[in-house]
Amino acid sequence: MPYTYEYPRPAVTVDVVMFTMQAEGLAILLIRRKHAPFKGAWALPGGFVNENESLLDAAGRELEEETAVRGATMEQLGAFGDPGRDPRGHTVSVAFLTFVVAASHPVNAGDDAAEVAWVPLRDLPVHDANDAPPARPRRPSSRPPAKTLAFDHARIIEIARLRLQDHLTDPTRTAPFEIVPQRFTLTELQRVHEAVLGRALDKRNFRAKITAHGLVEPVAAQQRVGRHRPAQLYRWKRPTPKRTRDKTG
């Protein structure tokens, strides 16, 4: 006879906060819920953890089932288990954070998602006290504001934004996520940092820090088109493999 505890056991779920960079700023991948609770509301991709399934595996599975996105590098953000966050009962959710290039990850609604979309962060009822005026004028969004977020997902997104800011506060640190395409311009890289940090950065200082620390290397120069020379492309510089001492000699 299997042993059982006399204590209550809350259900365990996972949620994925996935950011990307769009022309107008940061966007986040959301699903519109097909079923109750919060039917019709926008929510983070996620769901219940299966028995004998790791949290990271559950996050990857739910993300793929609901949005068709797979293979993203994820970092555990934290646990959220306030009573009342889920009307179905006491549920503890472990949230994961990631940042991807949207063009590399086509999305398609599946499972219990009625719709999936990259929603501009400014269209959500999310406020970060550290936010400053945008570095560049924002273009109006073609998508109406997502007025409601399910569960406590607005709070989870706020905390994820702060964690992302911590990662990109120092431009000389290598970002743990896919924040730019494999080949990128320094202007593209700077725009991502400005969108995440919510403030403008000095162009000359930013580029000097990036290049001086050897984080990037230029890609072969492109051919001149017309009168204008295309912007120089860069890629992340791969670290030199460490040599190991031969212990047999």
> If we measure between CA atoms, which residue out of 112, 102, 141 comes closest to residue 20?
102
Q: Which residue has the tokens 């219990």?
A: 112
pLDDT at 241 over 50: no
The predicted pLDDT at position 228 comes to 65
Range of the domain at 37: 11-178
Average pLDDT over residues 190-200: 94
Q: What is the pLDDT of residues 22-79, one digit of tens each?
A: 986 999 999 999 999 999 999 999 999 999 999 999 999 999 999 999 999 999 999 9
For residue 194, being part of any structural domain is answered with: no
Number of domains in the chain: 1
Give, in degrees to the nearest 5, the angle at Cα 189 between 157 and 136. Answer: 70
Q: How far apart are CA 73 and CA 94, in angstroms?
A: 16
Which residues carry out catalysis?
115
Specify the CATH number for the domain of residue 135: 3.90.79.10
Task: Determine the 3-state secondary structure of 159 from DSSP.
Answer: helix
**In this structure, what token pair is assigned to residue 186?**
């320094």
For residue 21, being part of any structural domain is answered with: yes
